[in-house]
């Protein structure tokens, strides 16, 4: 007999990022429809929602309504809201809008950092302290998302030591938590584990989450490996929304409903309801006006009754 | 520090099932194009190909050319060919056509067995002995594929004891090997492990493979769990072909290129070349005349150079 046992955490803390990572490259969705999306998402039971980015409306027109959206969040008490910021200016906006739990991206590769944030990695790291200070001053926290943590679209593989250096520097500068981003959806289970182990060694005790894209089919296998290694914070997007719908192959985040299905069926509590997620995906699909990539959403959810009829004997007739 | 180590087999034996499970529900592809597909598939380096089914041409018109196709297989020495049969009549045809390594499906649920094979599970099991005898008489072997091993589209969950009973009965009747089929793509890692463990206990020493569909995003996570538990025989289909393209949600087998990408990147040898697989997927897409479901195929293969440029220091400017 083999000795393998599938050891998973008893519960996983899902962060829904569809409102931010999902919508950011879409044509702008009217505020009223975003509120419908949030109604549907909150009804799933999800505890954490990354709700928008406070960034330049020119750079991300789809999220230009961040302040107006944030002003509505009091409708849904009990949800832990967070927002992405790209610099201290964005952090001031977020805090003023009442969102004090912030995510801030630092790309581990210079080329992506320049393309994404207009400055190399060291420059992006240089703002962590100020952004953290703004979050902390408002009673909030700062999570640094290390983008291109495994691979960069321009530079290829990111050395593990590089990602670890960036993570350590972010924590030293004031980050309360870390998240590793598989920005272009290229990583695979062994590399997931290797990087997670290295970052945990470098930043012991710092909360660490994962952000995978399912561009090459490995998304949930990567999650599974991360969970087996002890990770309990996972980003996902309703319907698998994310990436650019106009760029073939730029598929989205792992789909929240696929994540929840896999986890709940494997005995891991998420607090999310699959039927409510299917409803939220339908609302999201209407809002963005195109098909969502999630296979589970297209397949139609849990397909079979959970019970089964009593079969006839399996023995072959003699 | 956590104690988890990702232990995977050093090599996995991939069986390409696109020619059979992939094509069976497509409009018939002309023999010349099937030979082009096989040229491309053999060039990937894959060692095992399930090449067709010897079944009623009325039931599966797409595979009505099984005999003609089998007559061409001598072109590619060194590949281990197999074919699916539905009864002893099909086994005779296969053996006469020179294919002596056979797969035979027994559905663990009666309802699916009746729908698929025209008789309940016990009736399907009743033919195992004769089919095995025909294979063995021709110097071949018989693998019984237990369909609806986890779930049935009509009956819901298949009790583990039921699938185990079917597997044991198949071996008793003469099957040399077993494969567990997630026919409707519903299973998840914990259930994968539980069933594999139960079947291994019931049928110690019998070669055991897995056949997953990626209908709900869990396909490669299921593979990963199976591999961690010691499985080394995995079915997959080029481009993720399979299921019915006209039924929304009836998505295909796990995609061979996604499987190979994940495994090779995780240090598991498959013997397959990813670039050749992308070519084979293109040939397959032309042959079937519609888009293939594989995310990796759409994303365009390995996207980044395997090396990386030397980054500038990650420390923040002081």
Per residue in B79-94, pLDDT tens? 999 999 999 999 999 9
Q: Kind and range of the H or E element at B105? A: strand B102-107
Q: Is B317 helix (H, G, I), strand (E, B) or coil?
A: coil
CB proximity under 8 Å: B 134-153 to A = 151-153
Q: Radius of gyration over alpha carbons of chain B, in Å?
A: 20
Mean pLDDT throughout A276-280? 97
Say which of A187, A200, A249 has its CB closest to residue B1: A200
For the cut 70, the answer to whether the pLDDT of residue A315 exceeds it is: no
- Per-window interface: A 249-268 vs B, CB < 8 A: 249-251, 254-255, 258, 261-262, 265-267
CB of A185 closer than 8 Å to CB of A214:
yes
Q: What's phi and psi for A49, nearest 5 deg?
A: -135, 120
Nearest chain A residue to B295 by CA: give it.
A216
* pLDDT for the residue A118: 92
| Cβ-defined contact of B110 to A304 (cutoff 8 Å) | no
pLDDT score for A307: 55
Candidates A120, A191, A254; nearest CB to B265? A191
Which helix (H) or strand (E) segment holds residue A283: the answer is: helix A274-288
- For residue A41, give Cα distances in angstroms to A22, A51, B154: 13, 11, 31
List chain B residues with CB under 8 Å of A304.
Answer: 151-153, 155-157, 184, 186
Report the pLDDT averaged over residues B31-35: 98
pLDDT band at A305; cut points 50, 70, 90: low
Picking from B157, B249, B314, the nearest residue to A125 by CB comes out as B314
pLDDT > 90? residue A17:
yes
How wide is the angle at C-alpha B149 spanned by C-alphas B147 and B153, nearest 5°?
75
Q: State the burial class of residue B307 (Cβ atoms within 10 Å of its Cβ: 0-12, 13-18, 19+).
A: exposed
Minimal Cα distance from A152: which residue of B?
B304
**For B164-207, what is each residue's pLDDT tens digit?**
999 999 999 999 999 999 999 999 999 999 999 999 999 999 99
d(CA B146, CA B89): 20
Cα atoms found within 13 Å of the Cα of residue A224, Cβ hemisphere only: 31
Q: Does A311 sit within 8 Å of B162, measured CB to CB? A: yes
For chains A and B, CB pairs below 8 A equal 280
pLDDT at residue B111 is higher than 90: yes
Query: Can you give the C-alpha Rg of chain A in angstroms?
Result: 20
Nearest CA to B187 out of B159, B149, B154 is that of B149
Chain B CB contacts of A126 below 8 Å: 316-317
Architecture of the domain spanning A13-299: Alpha-Beta Barrel (3.20)
B314 contact partners, CB below 8 Å, separation of at least 6: A108, A121, A122, A125, A162, A165, A166, A169
Quick check: A305 contacting B, CB < 8 Å? Answer: yes
DSSP B120-159: -HHHHHHTHHHHHHHHHHTT--EEEEEETSSEETTTEEPP
Q: Token pair 């190909």 is at which residue?
A: B49
- Pairing outcome for strands B156-157 and B151-152: antiparallel
Judged against a pLDDT cut of 80, whether residue A210 lies above it is answered with yes
Please indicate if any CB of chain B lies within 8 Å of the CB of A230: yes
8 Å CB contact between A84 and A53:
yes
Residues of A in contact with B169 (CB under 8 A): 314-316
A267: its two tokens: 């005995």
B residues 164..223 contacting A (CB < 8 A): 165-166, 169, 173, 184-191, 193, 197, 200-201, 214-221, 223
Mean pLDDT on A310-318: 61
Answer whether A106's CB lies under 8 Å from A62's CB. Answer: no
Asked if A125 and B315 come within 8 Å (Cβ–Cβ), the reply is: yes
Question: Do the Cβ atoms of B142 and B132 come closer than 8 Å?
Answer: yes
Number of C-beta neighbours around residue B306 at 10 A? 8
Q: Is the CB of residue A118 less than 8 Å away from at least one CB of chain B?
A: no
Mark out the alpha helices in chain B (DSSP H runs): 31-42, 66-70, 88-96, 110-117, 121-126, 128-137, 160-172, 189-202, 219-228, 256-265, 274-288, 295-299
Q: A93 at the B interface (CB within 8 A)?
A: no
Q: Confidence band (pLDDT; 50, 70, 90) for B252?
A: confident
Please tell me the distance in Å from B185's CA to the nearest CA on chain A: 10
Confidence (pLDDT) at A110: 96
Q: Do A299 and B250 touch (CB under 8 A)?
A: yes
Q: What is the mean pLDDT of residues B278-284?
A: 97
Mean pLDDT over the full length of chain B:
93
A244 an active-site residue? yes
């Amino acid at each position: 007999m083999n000795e393998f046992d599938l050891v998973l955490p008893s519960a996983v803390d899902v962060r829904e990022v569809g409102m931010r990572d999902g919508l950011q490259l879409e044509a702008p969705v009217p505020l009223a429809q975003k509120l419908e999306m949030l109604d549907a998402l909150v009804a799933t039971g999800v505890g954490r929602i990354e709700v928008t980015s406070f960034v330049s409306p020119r750079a991300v027109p789809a999220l230009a309504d961040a302040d107006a959206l944030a002003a509505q969040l009091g409708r849904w008490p009990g949800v832990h809201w967070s927002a992405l910021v790209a610099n201290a200016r964005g952090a001031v906006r977020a805090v003023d809008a009442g969102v004090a739990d912030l995510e801030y991206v630092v790309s581990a590769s210079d080329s992506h950092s320049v393309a994404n944030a207009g400055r190399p990695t060291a420059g992006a790291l240089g703002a962590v302290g100020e952004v953290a200070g703004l979050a902390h001053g408002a009673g909030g926290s700062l999570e640094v998302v290390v983008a291109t943590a495994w691979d960069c679209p321009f530079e290829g593989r990111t050395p593990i030591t590089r990602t670890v250096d960036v993570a350590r520097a972010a924590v030293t500068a004031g980050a309360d938590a870390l998240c590793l981003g598989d920005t272009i959806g290229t990583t695979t289970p062994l590399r997931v584990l290797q990087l997670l182990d290295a970052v945990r060694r470098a930043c012991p005790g710092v909360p660490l989450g994962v952000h995978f894209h399912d561009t090459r089919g490995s998304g949930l296998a990567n999650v599974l490996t991360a969970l087996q290694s002890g990770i309990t914070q996972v980003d996902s997007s309703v319907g698998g929304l994310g990436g650019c719908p106009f760029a073939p192959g730029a598929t989205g985040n792992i789909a929240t409903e696929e994540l929840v299905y896999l986890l709940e069926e494997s005995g891991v509590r998420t607090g999310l309801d699959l039927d409510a997620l299917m409803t939220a995906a339908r609302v999201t699909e209407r809002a963005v006006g195109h098909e969502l990539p999630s296979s589970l959403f297209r397949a139609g959810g849990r397909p079979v009754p959970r019970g089964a009829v009593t079969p006839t004997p399996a023995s072959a007739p003699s």
